[in-house]
Amino acid sequence: MKTEFLIVITIFIDIALIYILFNEKLNHFDKYAVIFVIFVHLCFLINIYFENKKSIDIIHVIYVLYVFIFSLFFKNKYLIYLSIVIIIMQLIAKYLIFGQCPMGKFDNIKIIYEFFNTIHKNFIDLTFIVLAILLYRVYLIKS
């Protein structure tokens, strides 16, 4: 079920990204971030098909960087909205549906696995801090 969930969510995100790419005026950072994420998602879907766990863990690291760092620099309101939706979906999947992150625990990258096990309790705080910042940015855009 996790695999099917991840595939559906990835396709949903890609449809939204493609729509934003072709219908919104994007600055260079936003445009290249969208193109990069679509490319990473293509790699992700290929690696799910071939069950390449190490590559999936690497893509998981990219996902964490994208959502929790790069999304803070988006200027396009729809990319900010999408980032908020992604974070909320991640929280629902992790805490309500699966009881853990559906992408796994970075088992194949030892240093990342140890790092996230060390900060795990604070990571939920970081998630809500990023979510609050993004929501505030939406408020500023609407004002």
Instruction: Supply the pLDDT for residue 85.
Output: 97
Q: Which of 115, 8, 101 is nearest to 63 (CA)?
A: 101
Tens digits of per-residue pLDDT, 48-101? Answer: 999 999 999 999 999 999 999 999 999 999 999 999 999 999 999 988 999 988
Q: Between 36 and 126, name the one with better pLDDT.
A: 36
Question: In which band, very low, low, confident or very high, does the pLDDT at 128 lie, cut at 50, 70 and 90?
Answer: very high
Of 3-17, 23-37, 76-90, 96-110, where does mean pLDDT reach its minimum?
A: 96-110
Question: In which band, very low, low, confident or very high, does the pLDDT at 34 lie, cut at 50, 70 and 90?
Answer: very high
| 35 CB neighbour count, 10 Å cutoff | 13
- Quote the CA–CA distance of 6 and 31 in Å, as a whole number: 24
